[in-house]
Structure 1
Amino acid sequence: MLVAAAVCPCPPLLVPEVAAGAAPELAALRAACAEAVAELVTAEPDLLVLVGEGPQAEVWTEGGAGTFQRYGVPFGARLPSGPVSGPELSPALTVGAWLLTEAGVQLPTHACAVPADAPVDRMLGLGQGLAGLADRVGLLVLGDGSACRSVKAPGYLDDRAEAYDAQVALALGTADTAALAALDPQLSAELLAVGRAPWQVLAGAGQGADLEGRLRYDEAPYGVGYFVASWTRARAAAA
């Protein structure tokens, strides 16, 4: 059963060594991510699952690691549990592993990469399956919003981007699984919103879980929508 989730963006610039001189520009985002991960751990999950975009569907259950060498930084990050085995973690999952390392997390951890074009129903079903892996499951969901919020954004300026990101922010901030499930894959792809598939995994995992949402960060530095949110058990359910 899903007992908590943290939603974070996954730009490599979150890692100060990658950002180098620009590191202070994302200090507030980095702090919000740290707070969300800390709250996730406070829920005491039996199993933590990272979900993020990757070139193909892959699952890591026995440990795994990724690297930041493609960004000119000679180190990487690994999942907290298990040996380093299997394929390299996708860039999004590597950022997630780095967040867990920074937080000192020592929990049994799996990771799941999902393609950006994955069908909605498959992502919802995957989320339901992940929620059933243990009595108390926590998710760390990695994904960015639209990359079309300004003329300097990776996808240039698209007038639809701001409304799309506002819809996502509202859904994440209120733990609205139906709204996340309703995100359109085609529009998401046109706006370069790579978080769509991971967020819909979260929607599937959260169905019927009685969770409350809290939006910790909602900004678009560099023209890309970044959100940080926490989903925790509703007070009445937790009592």
Structure 2
Amino acid sequence: MLRALALSVRQLGDRAILAVLLKSVALTLLIFALLGTGVYFGFGWMLARIGWNAASTSLVAAAGALILAVFGGLVMFRAVALAVVGFFAEDVVAAVERRHYPARAASAVPPSAWRGLRIGLRSALRAVLYNLLALPLYLALLITAVGAPMVFLIVNGLLIGKDLQQMVVARHDAVLDNAPERPKPPEKIAPVPRFVLGLAAAAGLGIPFINLIVPVIAAAMATHMIHGPRSGRTVTQ
């Protein structure tokens, strides 16, 4: 895993990776800006309809936008960031495979944009759903100070690890379905390393500014962990 991290960070200067990073950060921030604006004006419209005065309306609308920002920082940012990177993951995985695993790159069939979008949306919906289901547990553990964050990281680590693996495997599932001579399918990440990868990504997504590049690095790491030396394939540095 340390090798995967070192190679992933080293490749951040790759033009293809930089392009994904810029697009994913810009789109993630745009989504949150639109959500915040929508919440502010939505609350304002709703409160005006029930007869609140203008000062109270603005105050409550601003509070609603702030609550969304806090919830977004805890849950929604992870969901949105992974959904966005899920859509662009093909470019990240392809760049890593071209540089380090050319045989895998040659045999891959890129998933369609629609499939990439579905993978990203499923990832986001799972994150929101499971975190909402775990919300009572988070609230019950708030008094322990560390219990809620630990459970939060465990839940999201499991989800993110699985999502990152799927981003890589998607390029090779299409090969298995369509190729006349089926190549050996890519090895999946063992459960424990996959969870550790997801846990590290979940923790990184909670750090301001660092969380903007974590999804891209995590997707690259998942590619290395699936195609790495343990499978016996030749690896280039």
Give the TM-score normalised by the residue count of structure 1. Answer: 0.22
Greater share of helix residues, 1 or 2?
2
Larger relative strand fraction: 1
Q: Whose radius of gyration is greater, 1 or 2? A: 2
